Structure 1
Amino acid sequence: MALGNGLRIVWLDTYIGVMGEYIALKKQFQNAAEPVASMPPGGINELICCIEENVAPIEFVSTIDDALALIQYETDKRIIWISSGTLGEQIIPKIVSEYPRVYFFYIFCGYVQRLVEWALDHEYENMMKIVDTEPVLLVHLTRDMSNDIIKLGESYMKLLDGKSAEKCFVAAQKLEKNANAVDSLRNCAPLLTRLSMLEGPNGLIQKAQDLNGSQS
Structure 2
Amino acid sequence: MLSHEIVILWLDTHIGVPGSYVHLKEAFSTTIDPTYPYPISLYDRDSITLNLNKTDSKRQNRFQGPCELQFFTDEKQCLKSINKCFDTNKQIFLILPDYVRKDFFLRIYNQHPKEFQKTENEISIKFYIFIFMLEIEEWFFDYEDYLRIYYHEAELLYALTRDIAMYYMMIGKKLCNENTLNNIQQALIYFQWAYTLILRGNSISPYKEIELQNSLKAMIYGSKKTIHSMEKENYLQYDSINNLNENIFIYSLTELNDQALKLATIVNQIINKNPLLFNNLEDFFLSVQLERYKNQHNCPIIIVSNIDHQTNIFEELSSIRSIEHIYVLDLSEHKLIEQNTYRTLLKKFSKIQNIYANMNSLVRGWILEHSTRCEKIGDYFKENGDMNQARLYYEKSIKLNECLSVFIKKT
TM-score category (smaller protein): 0.7 to 0.9
| Structure 1 residue 136, shift from structure 2 partner | 1.0
Number of residue pairs the alignment of both structures matches: 188
Which residue matches 2:141?
120
Q: 2:82 aligns with which of 71, 82, 96?
A: 71
Distance 1:45 1:70, change over 3 A: closer
TM-score (norm 1): 0.73
* Distance of 1:82 and 1:154 partners within structure 2: 27
Work out which of the two has the higher radius of gyration on C-alpha atoms and give 1 or 2: 2
**Is residue 2:196 matched to residue 1:174?**
yes
| Structure 1 residue 114, shift from structure 2 partner | 3.3
**Is residue 2:229 matched to residue 1:214?**
yes
* Distance of 1:43 and 1:81 partners within structure 2: 17
Contact 1:112 1:132 in 2 (8 A): no
Give per-residue Cα distances to partners, 1:18-47, cap 9 Å, x unaligned. 6xx7x63345x5xxxxxxxxxxx8654531
TM-score (norm 2): 0.41
Distance 1:119 1:17, change over 3 A: closer
Amino acid at match of 1:13: D
1:87 counterpart SS class: coil
Q: Which runs of 5+ in 2 are unaligned?
A: 36-62, 116-123, 232-411
Q: Which runs of 5+ in 1 are unaligned?
A: 30-40
Which residue matches 2:210?
192
| Structure 1 residue 68, shift from structure 2 partner | 1.8
* Distance of 2:174 and 2:111 partners within structure 1: 31
Distance 1:156 1:77, change over 3 A: closer
* Distance of 1:177 and 1:54 partners within structure 2: 19
| Structure 1 residue 135, shift from structure 2 partner | 2.3
| Structure 1 residue 112, shift from structure 2 partner | 7.5
Contact 2:191 2:219 in 1 (8 A): yes
Which residue matches 1:137?
156
Q: 2:99 aligns with which of 86, 92, 104?
A: 86
Percent identity over paired residues: 22
* Distance of 1:196 and 1:144 partners within structure 2: 17
Which residue matches 1:46?
30
Contact 2:11 2:74 in 1 (8 A): yes
Q: 2:20 aligns with which of 5, 19, 24?
A: 24
Amino acid at match of 2:211: T
Give per-residue Cα distances to partners, 1:83-121, cap 9 Å, x unaligned. 112125452122211245663211111468834x52332
* Distance of 2:64 and 2:190 partners within structure 1: 12
Amino acid at match of 1:190: K
Amino acid at match of 2:204: V
Contact 1:80 1:103 in 2 (8 A): yes
* Distance of 1:54 and 1:204 partners within structure 2: 23
Greater RCO, CA 8 A, separation 6+: 1
* Distance of 1:111 and 1:17 partners within structure 2: 18
2:67 counterpart SS class: coil
Q: 1:153 aligns with which of 172, 182, 193?
A: 172
Distance 1:112 1:208, change over 3 A: farther
Give per-residue Cα distances to partners, 1:193-213, cap 9 Å, x unaligned. 2111122xxx11010000111
* Distance of 2:156 and 2:88 partners within structure 1: 26
Contact 1:55 1:145 in 2 (8 A): no
| Structure 1 residue 82, shift from structure 2 partner | 0.8
* Distance of 1:113 and 1:17 partners within structure 2: 22
* Distance of 1:8 and 1:44 partners within structure 2: 13
* Distance of 2:149 and 2:171 partners within structure 1: 25
Amino acid at match of 2:171: L
**Is residue 2:81 matched to residue 1:96?**
no
Amino acid at match of 1:118: W
Contact 1:26 1:44 in 2 (8 A): no
